[in-house]
Structure 1
């Protein structure tokens, strides 16, 4: 059996006892092997979080998911440059509803080795996140990074595509490569390739181009392009420019084009899909230390519906001493009647070095035309509101307790309450 197959059997749903055993073994390893790591010169760090939530789902059932998160890092294992990192959670629903939101997850678990065999060659083996302009994936496999000629870097990777398979199959895979380089000191270019295989069949083949260019510490230009080779079309394009000559205020102009990419093995690949375009302009201004205002305009462009204009403005207070928070409002104007106007507000206060508390509210009013062919109906105003209070108790530098309780109201779906308690331990 492949190593990846063993991991999936160990972590797949239905083996709660095995999952608890995995978590217990991981926590035990942290406690028992900690002194060994210290004695051998290795350094360890990490974090554990015990979380309990409760809320009502759309069917009115009360869901009480509980999680145990564990993040563990060990540096310079056995030899300098060998690092190990793992992050995952054990989840269960205490109310017995078997909610999908309470599933266990293994986010990443890999070994990292710098200067593997030769200088400037880094190796990463295990479950990891890979990303490039061509696409992204959570992968169980091998990644190699090699720096050469001072200004260039080459990355190649391949393995099982975690997002693709429900059960491990060697034919469900992802592979790709990326080469990046720096030119004229401030121009960074990247070319990337990513392919996905579903049951051994080529499901996606994507190419990417990434551009970053800093002009005299005045303008910063960035762009990403994704090309879908199997469909012979650009599936994603982002281009923007940011002006930051002055420290107090900054401006940004951005254009986005997006077209969904489906696997060639999926039934959805034969259906026509609509593109989406967006133009965004934003201005931020620091009016005083810790105080910032912003304004943003977005033009949403749809091929089959009327375009929409979205205006946002707000004030933000960064917590430099005691107070922190924000106030923002949004207005969306749509000729088809899909209008939106609302606001968001939050404030927090640090009472002392042990207690931080806050409260907030979000109110969105969505106007829309319903029952279009019913001459007796007009427009429907749907209001959604969220109120919450939250607090953090800093017991020590390594231990803190967080809690949040919120009430969600809707003219359409009535209301429900939601809460979360989280105990964090940092080591």
Structure 2
């Protein structure tokens, strides 16, 4: 009996767990398609992941798995991010997250991006499984600065150090690019912990927080701010937890409500010159967003877009005129609802004074992230087509710059093309 045959016989006679332990696992990169916390009673939070796993020698496949993530490390995991995984070569669906990869694999994860897998592999692999190729794409060599994400543990420690109040972090909030977390106060009530990098507390108080106070005085469903602290170069906010869950998409009823909310923002800041008007950043960089250089250097197509954005900026004022409330991030994911009725509008961190119709452009860009109910996009496009050119064009230029820049610095090249496609429709 040869050595290889003897080894196979030995493995065959081992208990199943022993056989699996003896097989050298495969290591691969995987893209996080989605994740959600399934508990939160201890320092290690069980998080359910949907991953697109990209082996070097096989097609990309999709799996679901759960891993216990330490509370401090939770902000490191987000949709679109890349992680290192291991799995038995004969059971590619039994994926384990490698939370402390080798330096080599860590470097691979930082520089690679993976397209979404088209086939899902469950707990049992079907015979004759055919998986379509979804090749890995590599981002450009530029290492752009990314937005600093919420570190919930560090921020609650900062709150405790400054106020003596100990907030208990429960779990991350869904969605968002910088991150938010559900927290519980000592008296038991729940709130939302947020982080605003590259911000000053006095600027937030005179801008977005003042906007929310004006809205709340008119009965508009936006959250109150329970605590605001300067922590280093950013601001920690603890805000009221409103009822409802984010809308997954817009149907016609939800669009009706969004349009009514937008209409109610009209003229609410008349006489409030103390609240800054919204800066469009068409000629200069914004504070951590709307950066021009990534577009100039990413590709000829993105460079051409940046040139058109700058041309619009040269023909229009740098700030948005008007006395309306402008949310600045008014998309369906920031609309909370219960049984189809909108109960709140969240994420007012960039709010200011200007023309409320800017938020309709933001709403249109938000629709581009996924397929919406039939006819909804066309209906909003008709509304935008009727806007004056001196309103629509600078607002569209701002959102084109904002979303393309963010995609270049945070997501895969295919995501950049996705936003360029939309930007070029009107610019």
User: Which structure's residues are more often strand, by fraction?
Assistant: 1
Coarse TM-score class (shorter-chain normalised): under 0.3
The TM-score, its normalising length taken from structure 2, stands at 0.24
User: Which structure's residues are more often helix, by fraction?
Assistant: 2
Report which of the two structures shows the higher radius of gyration computed on alpha carbons: 1
The TM-score, its normalising length taken from structure 1, stands at 0.24
Which structure exhibits the higher relative contact order, with contacts defined as CA atoms closer than 8 Å and separated by 6 or more residues? 2
